[in-house]
Amino acid sequence: MTLKKTVAELADFLGGVFQGDGSVLISGLGTLETAGPEFITFMANPKYAAKVAETSAGAVLMSPGGERYGRTAIEVANPYLAFAKLLTLFYTKPHEAVGVLPGANVSDTAKIGEETSIYPGASIGKNVTLGARTTIYSGAVLYDNVIVGNDCIIHANAVIRERCRIGNRCVIQPGAVIGSDGFGYAPDGSGYYPIPQIGIVVLEDDVEIGANSCIDRAAIEVTRIARGTKLDNLVQIAHNCQIGEDCMIVSQVGISGSAKIGNHVTLAGQVGVAGHLTIGDNVMVGAQSGVPSSLPPNGIYSGSPTMPHREWLKSSMVLPRLPEIKKTVAALEKRVAELEARLNQPLEES
Amino acid sequence: MTLKKTVAELADFLGGVFQGDGSVLISGLGTLETAGPEFITFMANPKYAAKVAETSAGAVLMSPGGERYGRTAIEVANPYLAFAKLLTLFYTKPHEAVGVLPGANVSDTAKIGEETSIYPGASIGKNVTLGARTTIYSGAVLYDNVIVGNDCIIHANAVIRERCRIGNRCVIQPGAVIGSDGFGYAPDGSGYYPIPQIGIVVLEDDVEIGANSCIDRAAIEVTRIARGTKLDNLVQIAHNCQIGEDCMIVSQVGISGSAKIGNHVTLAGQVGVAGHLTIGDNVMVGAQSGVPSSLPPNGIYSGSPTMPHREWLKSSMVLPRLPEIKKTVAALEKRVAELEARLNQPLEES
Amino acid sequence: MTLKKTVAELADFLGGVFQGDGSVLISGLGTLETAGPEFITFMANPKYAAKVAETSAGAVLMSPGGERYGRTAIEVANPYLAFAKLLTLFYTKPHEAVGVLPGANVSDTAKIGEETSIYPGASIGKNVTLGARTTIYSGAVLYDNVIVGNDCIIHANAVIRERCRIGNRCVIQPGAVIGSDGFGYAPDGSGYYPIPQIGIVVLEDDVEIGANSCIDRAAIEVTRIARGTKLDNLVQIAHNCQIGEDCMIVSQVGISGSAKIGNHVTLAGQVGVAGHLTIGDNVMVGAQSGVPSSLPPNGIYSGSPTMPHREWLKSSMVLPRLPEIKKTVAALEKRVAELEARLNQPLEES
């Protein structure tokens, strides 16, 4: 953590332009409120622009043309992204290859790439292929014939079952399970006959899987998570699902079998998706929603069952007033009946 | 995967009857669309009957009396079940007993049955009993005094805590936890005193537990999953639950403490069930439903809280129209008030 | 399990007062229905008071002044709590220190306290500190620089990632993950750039974490679970959350990033909580509810989105009647229109 860089060097690293004193030394990152003179901070939300005047930070990442109140600044198109890149630069260690440590159980027939790390208690099955610079932490289990690409991190106690394939730069958090048997049974009159799940799971490049999430292998072919998609913790992906590129699947989402999810789809926490449907590209689904049938591209949906998000906002505001509405309707029925009765009386009697 | 059988042999194996050329050689299975001449396919849904005319498959599994368009066919009562049985025949390997492999941690006092397999990194506690032909994969942990029956598969990193009992032919997917402490605390005025959970979990024969599912041990007696019941991934079964036979509990369902679930019950994904209630035999509960109180046998329910499924279908169709209904009711109130005012005016003035 | 105590001794142990025969020998606990003469039972719910007359139990724990029907009784302020304490006394074993067993992978640089137990297949990283009388079961993995206090139980296959800190008397059930990376990504125009999650998780004293629950490390600072809080199974706590003291977080609850939960908060099963909000002290939220925004202290809430619990009870009772209400409103519209038409006709024509 003793890395120090000048503002000019950081601007260069980020492809940005510095304003002010390029020689200021930076050794870390902080928020507008907490960063000190050797730290750099960022201003991404215009709401907080005035805080730039008061920060003690040595420099500020901001959008081009932002008011810098005399501070030293680095102008970048995306200050939040730049902040993330500096976090990586200052606070993460480059991959350290430790090799196969004592206590790791590695099959003789496994093909282990260069500069890999396999920690004690990890188990690597027959004919497993591990790419270069990949790390397997303690207790992770790779069944026979698994293929893992380069620069992957497989955290402790994650499990990858037989024949599944993991791309490059994938991260699998602790306890995640890739390739468990799909939930498929044929009723046989009395009980259920388990249908062999002979397919696999494929994670393409840059996929990340959250802690204790589960991705079932396909019944016959492939359950696929396409390039760049990120899954949060405790997510369930059932067999035969096809998840597109660059999706964000938030914690505790469950997707039923054979669902097809497009690219750039966001499913918020605890969403449930029925099986055998299609969700179009760029769809966003609000938290706890239930998707019973296909959704066309580019919409925002909420509710269980789902409806357009704006409708749901309005509809859910009426829910607490239902008892009142029910009462009013009952009262109206009476009043209308009375009116009808009066109008049906001979007029002279009224 | 080099197994080859004639159609006549397969008909015999399935207890069915072939029509056409019984000498056709079959080496695998496929769908109506993808199966080639050495493959067998199945037609279970009458909707797809016409596809039989076009398939390239060497043979088709179908119901007796179905139109076979001149194809070689095997007639069986349940073509889908027959397909599952052939998947097993062609694509799954018989149990291979590898014994206790180096790197497995097995207590001296464990009783290990014949033809078992214990993989590196598995841990078997004191006085554990393992039946014949049972497989324990890497990283699975069996605490002291666990009993596992014959022909079970305990996948990687599954945990079975002390004294729990697993029947015959059970399958436990990776990361599942059997016998964790029930969530029981006694408020002691300031905080919570943990109530010892001294009971166990019993899984009867042919039970299957999904990846990362959790089944808590009973407070004092037994949490029981009866014969033939299947749990999907990430399911929660709280302490003291009694789950009946041949139930299907889909992913992310949560069942609260001391609930009693009948036989042949289906709970769809993300259903929540309150504690200390009874769900009758053959009940089906729709996805994301919340069951707040007991349900009599044989019904279909949905919603949170649950109502009969048909009512829920109609009710949920009204939800998006609530804002409109609220508006209409408000307008009606005004219109009725106006009518009332007019009728209360002396008639001559109108 | 051969411990025997007289009723007088147990009354003394519990700080209660016995009525009847203090010399009765007790060797275990049971329910009012099942306990025999050497067993003690408890009566906490006045509904079951009459059962005291019929129990075969040797003694009954009850509130001071309760009708004991001639039974030997121990009067205590909180009979349920007393029962829990006797369960601990009779049925749980004191910590047995077995040391570091063969097959455990323990770094040379780990500092291991007195009377600890580390089981085969557990992995303890560099510079880990373990307090006295702490137990680490098989397959549990502690990454580098983890600190665990005294008298903790870390169950099988639980994972604690780098630098996280666990207080005293904490219990972590099997498969739980502490310190997984928070779900933070910066859109970079095409895909998502992973934001390094450099913070940690702190569990304070007496915290318990359920099986397969996940607690993400903070992006920069600390995700904190305060003293005495209990989490059930399969709970998700996202990065930067601050959970107060003595909370009860029931199974499958999900709490989004940077949420701040007060003290003594109860979240029932499958509740979802949005990010960046505050829930006040003593709040209770009903099962399956969705909390979209901050809640003031001391309330009871339900629904998705949440409303006061009593409103929700009434509102949800109307849900099944929505189709009928919609129909009635449509009929009323017609009837009112007719009335209006009639009133607008010249009176002489009516």
ipTM: 0.95
> CB of B347 within 8 Å of any CB in chain A?
yes
Query: How many Cβ pairs closer than 8 A exist between chain A and C?
Result: 191
- C350 in B contact zone (CB under 8 Å): no
Chain B interface includes C309 (CB < 8 A): no
- What number is the average pLDDT over the span A84-91? 95
Contact in structure between B180 and C211 (CB atoms under 8 Å): yes
Which residue of chain A is at minimal alpha-carbon distance from C175?
A175
Per-residue model confidence (pLDDT) at position C350: 42
Contact B195 C329 (CB under 8 A): no
* Residue B43 at interface with chain A, using a CB cutoff of 8 Å: no
Distance from CA of C239 to the nearest CA of B (A): 21
Which chains have 3 or more CB–CB distances shorter than 8 Å to chain C?
A: A, B
Cα Rg of chain B, angstroms: 28
pLDDT given at position B15: 96
**pLDDT per residue over B119-151, tens digit each?**
999 999 999 999 999 999 999 999 999 999 999
What does the alpha-carbon distance between residue B217 and residue B205 come to, in Å, rounded to a whole number? 18
On chain B, the residues whose CB falls within 8 A of the CB of A159 are 139, 155-157, 174-175, 211
Which residue among C123, C195, C343 sits closest to A120, beta carbon to beta carbon? C123
Which of the following is catalytic: B155, B239, B276, B309?
B239
User: How close, in Å, is residue A228 to chain C by CA atoms?
Assistant: 6
Mutate to test the interface with A, among B88, B209, B322, B325 (most CBs of A within 10 A): B322
Residues contacting C206, CB < 8 A, separation 6+: B191, C167, C168, C169, C170, C227, C228
Phi, psi of A310 (to 5 degrees): -65, -40
Tell me how far apart the alpha carbons of residues B222 and B281 are, in angstroms, rounded to a whole number.
21
* Chains with at least 3 CB pairs less than 8 angstroms from chain A: B, C
Q: What is the pLDDT of residue A165?
A: 98
Closest CA to C208 of C181, C235, C238: C235
The fraction of chain C above a pLDDT of 90, given in percent, is: 91
Q: What percent of chain B has pLDDT over 70?
A: 98
Residue type, C173: Q
Q: Scanning every residue of chain B, which has its alpha carbon at the shortest distance from the alpha carbon of A338?
A: B340
Could you say which residues from 100 to 159 on chain B have a Cβ atom under 8 Å away from some Cβ of chain C?
Answer: 105, 121-123, 139, 141, 143, 157, 159
Contact with chain A for residue B226, Cβ under 8 A: no
Tell if the CB–CB gap between B339 and A342 is shorter than 8 Å.
Answer: no
Beta strand pairing call for B99-100 and B73-75: unpaired
A266/C contact by beta carbon, under 8 A: no
pLDDT at res. B349 = 45
Give B37-87 pLDDT, tens digit per residue: 999 999 988 888 889 999 999 999 999 988 999 999 999 999 999 999 999
CB pairs under 8 A between A and B: 190
Chain C, 80-99: which have a CB under 8 Å from a chain B CB?
80-81, 83-85, 87-88, 91-92
**What is the Cα–Cα distance from A274 to A255, expressed in whole angstroms?**
6
Contacts of A191 in chain B (CB under 8 A): 206, 227-228, 245-246
Across the interface, whether the CB atoms of C138 and B157 are under 8 A apart is answered: no
* Reported confidence tier of residue C347, pLDDT bands at 50, 70, 90: low
Confidence class for position C344, pLDDT limits 50, 70, 90: confident
- Rounding to the nearest 10 degrees, give the CA dihedral for residues C289, C295, C297, C301: -30
Residues found in chain B? 350
| Cβ–Cβ gap A173/C175 under 8 Å | no
In the predicted model, is pLDDT for residue B2 greater than 80? no
Mean pLDDT of A40-60: 91
Instruction: Check whether B344 has a pLDDT greater than 90.
Output: no
- Test B312 with C329 for CB contact under 8 angstroms: no
Q: What are phi and psi of B134, to 5 degrees?
A: -95, 145
- Give the pair of three-digit tokens for residue C215: 């607690």
Q: What average pLDDT does this structure show over C228-253?
A: 98
Where do we find the tokens 């007496």? Answer: C206
The C-alpha atoms of residue A156 and residue A133 are separated, in whole angstroms, by: 17
Please indicate whether, in this complex, the C-beta atoms of A196 and B87 are within 8 angstroms of each other: yes
Q: Which two tokens stand for residue A334?
A: 């009476």
Give the pairing type, strands B141-142 and C222-225: unpaired
| CA distance linking residue A331 with residue B220, whole number of Å | 54
Tally helices (H) and strands (E) across chain B: 4, 40
- pLDDT tens-digit map of C151-181: 999 999 999 999 999 999 999 999 999 999 9
Q: How far apart are CA A167 and CA A153, in angstroms?
A: 11
Structure tokens at C251: 């199974």
Contact call for residues A64 and A72 (beta carbons, < 8 A): no
Q: Which helix (H) or strand (E) holds C86?
A: helix C79-91
